[in-house]
Structure 1
Amino acid sequence: MTEARTEKPRIGFIGVGFMGHGMAKNLIEKGHAMQVIGNRNRQPVEDLLTRGATEAASPAAMAASVDIIHLCLPNSASVEAVMRGPDGILAGARPGLIVIDTTTANPGSTVALAEELAARGGTLVDAPLGRTPKEAEAGTLDAMVGCDEATFQRILPVIRCWAANINHVGPTGSAHKMKLIMNFIAMGYAALYAEALTTAAKAGIAPQTVQKVIGSSRMANGFFETFMTGAVGRDREVHKFTITNAAKDLRYCAQMAMAGGMANPMGAAMRSMFAQAEAAGHGGDFVPQLADLFAAANGLDLADAVKRGA
């Protein structure tokens, strides 16, 4: 086992939360030597240590001793801190280091960091994720990848450890742009579904009926299934993506739209709904709970409507 691992790239992983834990676990199981840096939640870190990972003292120390670093962080500010901090990745980077940033990040920040890492002989790849922590644990995530073709071919076996649907979008920064488009669509669904459930209940149609009728029609999709399982099925664990992260992604998408000199009317309406939920102290709730918050703002208890619908 040890001999097999030495033939594979040594991996560092920073950010082993909802998504990162499963990704790191799968890399270990596929034979990669692993270093991790966690955050305030020690449970996923301790679990990975029991699986054979070691804990790096700092991002700089990790950068000096591994071949590829994965980042799975909340936002661009977090990525910039890990990269540029006094004990950050750039401080320890050596020629040949690859950083795979799976964060849903601001593309402008990504391109700037890529230039800074390139000046030290390294390569930054943006590889944001699709799907949920369930697929992260199973190793079947979606991955959008931004980098040159040679780098893509080099890292493809590594990404295959945690992703099943992999798309090379274009150069560095392009995958983060594509991810913002994906989340723009997804959060549009969330806002639409939240309003639809309240509209239906106010009109005397049970939430379960909406779930059944739409879910069995050509309008069904994977996001609809998890959103309705959370909002109507009352399963809080099915779609672990916070309202705060959704609001952040919509802001990044608006910045991208403005940089392109275009209007963003649908995005503005979506940002308003998520911003209201976040301002009311519900940023830590998961996206399907947006349905409860919108219902409550319109004088409806969605959980009660579900009970009555049963």
Structure 2
Amino acid sequence: MTQEHIGFAGLGLMGHGMAKNIVTKGYPLTVTAHRNRAPVDDLIGRGATEASIEDLAARCTIIFLTLPGSPQVAEAVARMTPHLKPGAVIVDCSTSDPTVTERLATDLSAKGIHFADAPLSRTPKEAWEGTLDCMVGAEPEVFRRIQPVIATWAGKIVHIGRVGDGHRMKLLNNFLSLGYAAIYAEALALAAKVGISTATFDSVIRGGRMDCGFYQTFMGYALEGNREAHRFTLSNAYKDLRYLESMANAATVTTTMASAAKNSFAGAVAQGGAGPEDYVPHLTDFVARANGVKR
């Protein structure tokens, strides 16, 4: 069987590590330019080649996308479509709007091109180590084809179901994690307001039933001051919760908790937290400031 030639667009915090694992584990890899040259140059040094997104589409059989959201995914697909060969597979690893995912899949299917959604969980550290979690929406035969490549960068792979289901599950997953973040930030602001220090708060929660991996990375900043403890931006968090709210609206489900979490992130972004280095654990600063608490 002919070996798959892999394409990769979106070499940001997650994509660089994912692409590194693909090329170092034996797959031919073509990447497209990124505003930050460092990941591209690193991957070329490891054996990848660089091409325009149009040339990438023409030469690759499986193409992974890790882009900011559905508008960028739709734009990339539109640029690639005239150059893709029948049988090619596009795999969207972004956190995207499931309705856009389904529309793209339908449009591409008419041209003999496959589409799958394979969003991620965990952090850039796990992307580099090849131990991400991945939830896949794809037809069974497409899943069987892309699974070995995903396994180069993911330690846990779950085939959720049809196209779009991976993105649906990802939004639910992010609702839980970002809901935790909103609760932690508010609890820490309240603790400070009533005279309980962050260290004292942590001494009670850590190691108890309310402790978890997400709590620990969040507190990596809130307690220890590590600004890069969890490199997922506030603006992406806000976007993901808007997508979740849209999904719930279409399903006629009330979003009492999800909308509250979304508004917490909306407040942080509105206060100036929309930068590329404003990460989810930094939410604690914005919530504290809104409540007159100094951190």
TM-score interval w.r.t. the shorter chain? over 0.9
SS at match of 1:38: coil
Instruction: After TM superposition, list the pairs within 5 Å mapping 1:137-216 onto structure 2.
Output: 137-216=128-207
Taking structure 2 as the reference length, the TM-score comes to 0.97
Q: Secondary structure at the match of 1:73?
A: coil
1:106 pairs with 97, 112, 123, which one? 97
**2:294 paired with 1:301:** yes
SS at match of 1:218: coil
Distance 1:105 1:176 in 2: 6
Residue of structure 2 equivalent to 1:70: 64
Shift of 1:81: 0.7
Contact persistence 1:11–1:69 (CA under 8 A): yes
- The CA deviation string for residues 93-131 of structure 1, in whole angstroms up to 9 with x for no partner, is 111101110000000000000111111111111000000
Indicate whether 1:20 and 2:5 are aligned.
no
CA distance in 1, matches of 2:208, 2:158: 28
CA deviation string 1:8-44 (max 9, x = no partner): 3110000010000000000011011111113211111
CA displacement at 1:60 relative to structure 2:
2.3
Q: Name the amino acid aligned to 1:286.
A: Y
Q: Is the 8 A contact 2:33 2:51 kept in 1?
A: no
Contact kept, 8 Å, 1:101 with 1:127, in 2: the verdict is yes
Given residue 25 of structure 2, which amino acid in structure 1 is its aligned partner? K
2:240: which partner in 1? Answer: 249
Partner Cα distance (1:42, 1:202) in 2: 45
For residues 143-172 of structure 1, the C-alpha deviation after alignment (integer angstroms, 9 at most, x for no partner) is 000001111111111110000011000000
Q: Larger deviation: 102-111 or 259-268? A: 259-268
Question: 1:291 maps to which residue?
Answer: 284
Which residue identity lines up with residue 208 of structure 1 in the other structure?
A: A
1:3 aligned residue: none
Q: Which amino acid aligns with 2:12?
A: G
Where do residues 69-148 of structure 1 align in structure 2 (5 Å cutoff)?
69-84=63-78, 88-148=79-139
Shift of 1:293: 1.0
Question: How far is 1:7 from its partner?
Answer: 5.4
Q: Tell me the amino acid that sits aligned with residue 106 of structure 1.
A: D
1:49 aligns with 2:44: yes
Separation of aligned partners in 1, 2:34 and 2:184: 33
1:94/1:120 contact within 8 Å kept: no
Q: Does the CA-based 8 Å contact 1:8-1:31 persist in structure 2? A: no
Q: What number of residue pairs does the alignment pair up?
A: 293
| Sequence identity percentage | 48
Maintained 8 Å contact 1:139/1:161: yes
Matched, 1:39 2:34: yes
Gapped regions of structure 2 (runs ≥ 5): none
Q: Which amino acid aligns with 1:31?
A: G
Gaps spanning 5+ residues in structure 1: where? 1-5, 303-310
TM-superposition CA deviations, 1:225-277 (whole Å, max 9, x none) = 10011221111112000000000000000000000012111122111111111
Query: Match of 1:64, SS?
Result: helix
Cα deviation, residue 212, structure 1: 2.5
The 8 Å contact of residues 93 and 120 in structure 1, kept in 2 or not, is answered as no
Q: Counterparts of 1:69 and 1:41 in 2: how far apart (Å)?
A: 20
Equivalent-residue separation in structure 2 for 1:273 and 1:81 (angstroms)? 30
CA distance in 1, matches of 2:158, 2:50: 31
Amino acid at match of 2:73: V
